[in-house]
């Protein structure tokens, strides 16, 4: 039932034929690009500028969030791989 509904949504014109995975991936890609953008701003902000410390703190915060997102993604991928590996072992009669 959910799969059919999801398939209908993904093929709807308003979704531009993008899959659910695409919608979930786009924010991740943006989050991982933010540190580079903020670093570029920091590099162009003079040390004596009143916003320099704010930009520096923002960079550290965004780097932390980006790292956490990357770690969560790796844990998810590892979990999927382990699940497929266990399924394969069960299919072969090993477990």
The answer to whether residue 2 sits within a structural domain is no
Residue 78 domain boundaries? 26-92
Assess if residue 71 is contained within a domain. yes
Whether 57 is in a domain gets the answer: yes
Q: Is residue 1 part of a domain?
A: no
Taking only the tens place, the pLDDT of each residue in 18-47 is 887 777 777 778 888 999 999 999 999 999
| Domain-embedded: residue 53 | yes
**Within a domain: 37:** yes
Give the chain's domain count.
1
15 domain-assigned? no
The answer, as to whether pTM is greater than 0.75, is: no
Q: Which 3-state string (H, E, C) describes the chain?
A: CHHHHHHHHHHCHHHCCCCHHHHHHHHHHHHHHHHHHHHHHHHCCCCCCCCHHHHHHHHHHHHHHHHHHHHHHHHHHHHHHHHHHHHHHHHHCCC
């Amino acid at each position: 039932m959910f799969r059919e509904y999801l398939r209908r949504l993904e093929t709807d014109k308003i979704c531009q034929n993008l899959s659910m995975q695409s919608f979930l991936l786009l924010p991740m890609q943006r989050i991982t690009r933010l540190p580079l953008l903020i670093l570029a701003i920091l590099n162009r902000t003079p040390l004596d500028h009143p916003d320099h410390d704010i930009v520096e703190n923002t960079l550290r915060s965004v780097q932390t969030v980006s790292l956490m997102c990357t770690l969560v993604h790796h844990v998810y991928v590892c979990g999927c791989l382990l699940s497929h590996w266990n399924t394969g072992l069960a299919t072969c009669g090993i477990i």
